[in-house]
Amino acid sequence: MATATDKGFYGTGRRKEATARVWIRPGTGVVIINGRDINVYFGRETSKMVLNQPLDVLEQKGKIDIEVNVRGGGLSGQAGAIRHGLARALCNYNPDFRPSLKKAGFLTRDARAVERKKYGQPGARRRFQFSKR
Protein backbone atom coordinates (compact mmCIF):
# COMPACT_ATOMS: atom_id res chain seq x y z
CA MET A 1 0.00 0.00 0.00
CA ALA A 2 1.19 3.46 -0.86
CA THR A 3 1.47 6.21 1.74
CA ALA A 4 1.44 10.00 1.54
CA THR A 5 2.32 11.75 -1.73
CA ASP A 6 2.32 15.40 -2.76
CA LYS A 7 -1.37 14.97 -3.73
CA GLY A 8 -2.27 13.43 -0.35
CA PHE A 9 -2.94 9.88 0.82
CA TYR A 10 -3.55 7.27 -1.89
CA GLY A 11 -5.68 4.15 -2.30
CA THR A 12 -6.57 1.92 -5.26
CA GLY A 13 -10.04 0.41 -5.53
CA ARG A 14 -11.51 -2.14 -7.93
CA ARG A 15 -15.01 -3.43 -8.66
CA LYS A 16 -16.13 -5.50 -11.69
CA GLU A 17 -14.16 -3.95 -14.58
CA ALA A 18 -13.67 -0.53 -12.93
CA THR A 19 -10.43 0.71 -11.35
CA ALA A 20 -10.29 3.84 -9.22
CA ARG A 21 -7.23 5.77 -8.06
CA VAL A 22 -8.18 7.86 -5.02
CA TRP A 23 -6.22 10.65 -3.33
CA ILE A 24 -7.44 12.25 -0.09
CA ARG A 25 -6.24 15.19 1.99
CA PRO A 26 -7.70 17.25 4.84
CA GLY A 27 -10.10 19.87 3.48
CA THR A 28 -13.72 20.95 3.20
CA GLY A 29 -15.36 17.88 1.60
CA VAL A 30 -14.82 18.63 -2.11
CA VAL A 31 -15.13 15.50 -4.32
CA ILE A 32 -13.65 15.64 -7.83
CA ILE A 33 -14.06 12.61 -10.14
CA ASN A 34 -12.16 12.62 -13.46
CA GLY A 35 -11.93 16.42 -13.27
CA ARG A 36 -15.67 16.86 -12.66
CA ASP A 37 -17.78 17.48 -9.56
CA ILE A 38 -19.49 14.44 -8.00
CA ASN A 39 -22.96 15.84 -8.82
CA VAL A 40 -22.02 16.22 -12.49
CA TYR A 41 -20.32 12.81 -12.79
CA PHE A 42 -22.89 10.69 -10.92
CA GLY A 43 -26.54 11.41 -11.69
CA ARG A 44 -27.98 8.75 -9.36
CA GLU A 45 -28.22 9.41 -5.64
CA THR A 46 -27.43 5.74 -4.93
CA SER A 47 -24.00 6.08 -6.57
CA LYS A 48 -23.23 9.15 -4.44
CA MET A 49 -24.46 7.33 -1.33
CA VAL A 50 -22.25 4.28 -2.06
CA LEU A 51 -19.24 6.54 -2.56
CA ASN A 52 -19.80 8.38 0.76
CA GLN A 53 -20.40 5.27 2.91
CA PRO A 54 -16.83 5.05 4.32
CA LEU A 55 -16.97 8.76 5.29
CA ASP A 56 -20.35 8.27 6.98
CA VAL A 57 -19.06 5.31 9.04
CA LEU A 58 -16.03 7.33 10.21
CA GLU A 59 -17.97 10.63 10.54
CA GLN A 60 -15.40 12.36 8.30
CA LYS A 61 -17.87 13.86 5.79
CA GLY A 62 -16.96 17.47 5.05
CA LYS A 63 -13.47 17.11 6.58
CA ILE A 64 -11.65 15.44 3.67
CA ASP A 65 -11.11 16.50 0.04
CA ILE A 66 -11.22 13.62 -2.44
CA GLU A 67 -9.71 13.49 -5.92
CA VAL A 68 -10.48 10.43 -8.05
CA ASN A 69 -9.32 9.08 -11.38
CA VAL A 70 -11.60 6.19 -12.39
CA ARG A 71 -11.82 4.19 -15.61
CA GLY A 72 -13.50 1.05 -16.94
CA GLY A 73 -16.86 -0.53 -16.21
CA GLY A 74 -20.15 1.26 -15.73
CA LEU A 75 -21.25 3.91 -13.25
CA SER A 76 -22.32 1.39 -10.59
CA GLY A 77 -19.00 -0.49 -10.77
CA GLN A 78 -17.11 2.79 -10.71
CA ALA A 79 -18.95 3.91 -7.56
CA GLY A 80 -18.02 0.61 -5.88
CA ALA A 81 -14.40 0.96 -7.00
CA ILE A 82 -14.22 4.50 -5.62
CA ARG A 83 -15.66 3.31 -2.29
CA HIS A 84 -13.00 0.57 -2.10
CA GLY A 85 -10.18 2.99 -2.99
CA LEU A 86 -11.48 5.63 -0.57
CA ALA A 87 -11.54 3.09 2.28
CA ARG A 88 -7.94 2.08 1.50
CA ALA A 89 -6.83 5.72 1.32
CA LEU A 90 -8.51 6.43 4.68
CA CYS A 91 -6.52 3.53 6.20
CA ASN A 92 -3.30 5.15 4.94
CA TYR A 93 -4.48 8.53 6.25
CA ASN A 94 -5.20 7.19 9.75
CA PRO A 95 -4.52 3.53 10.70
CA ASP A 96 -7.04 3.84 13.56
CA PHE A 97 -9.83 3.87 10.93
CA ARG A 98 -9.01 0.33 9.78
CA PRO A 99 -11.12 -1.69 12.31
CA SER A 100 -14.28 0.34 11.59
CA LEU A 101 -13.83 0.08 7.81
CA LYS A 102 -13.02 -3.64 8.03
CA LYS A 103 -16.12 -4.32 10.15
CA ALA A 104 -18.30 -2.44 7.63
CA GLY A 105 -16.76 -4.54 4.81
CA PHE A 106 -15.33 -1.65 2.78
CA LEU A 107 -11.77 -3.03 2.63
CA THR A 108 -12.82 -6.32 1.03
CA ARG A 109 -12.54 -6.53 -2.75
CA ASP A 110 -15.90 -7.63 -4.15
CA ALA A 111 -14.82 -10.54 -6.38
CA ARG A 112 -18.15 -10.88 -8.22
CA ALA A 113 -17.82 -10.36 -11.95
CA VAL A 114 -19.74 -11.21 -15.12
CA GLU A 115 -19.76 -14.94 -15.84
CA ARG A 116 -18.19 -15.83 -19.17
CA LYS A 117 -20.20 -16.98 -22.17
CA LYS A 118 -19.79 -20.70 -22.92
CA TYR A 119 -19.58 -22.26 -26.39
CA GLY A 120 -22.68 -24.04 -27.71
CA GLN A 121 -25.08 -21.63 -26.01
CA PRO A 122 -26.11 -17.99 -26.53
CA GLY A 123 -25.03 -16.68 -23.11
CA ALA A 124 -23.42 -17.63 -19.82
CA ARG A 125 -26.41 -19.68 -18.59
CA ARG A 126 -28.98 -19.34 -21.37
CA ARG A 127 -29.52 -22.35 -23.63
CA PHE A 128 -30.79 -22.42 -27.20
CA GLN A 129 -34.52 -23.21 -27.42
CA PHE A 130 -35.25 -26.93 -27.23
CA SER A 131 -37.72 -28.43 -29.70
CA LYS A 132 -39.04 -31.91 -29.06
CA ARG A 133 -40.55 -32.27 -32.55
Q: Tell me the pLDDT tens digit for each residue of 73-86.
A: 999 999 999 999 99
What is the model's pTM?
0.89
Average pLDDT of the chain?
92
Is the pLDDT confidence value at 54 over 90?
yes
Encode burial over 63-97: b for 16+ CB neighbours within 10 A, e otherwise. ebebbbebeebeebbbbbbbbbbbbbbbbbbeeeb
Mean pLDDT across 45-58: 93
Is the pLDDT confidence value at 125 over 80?
yes
Hey, where are the domains in the chain? 4-104
Report the topology of domain 4-104.
Ribosomal Protein S5; domain 2 (3.30.230)
Mean pLDDT across 12-33: 95
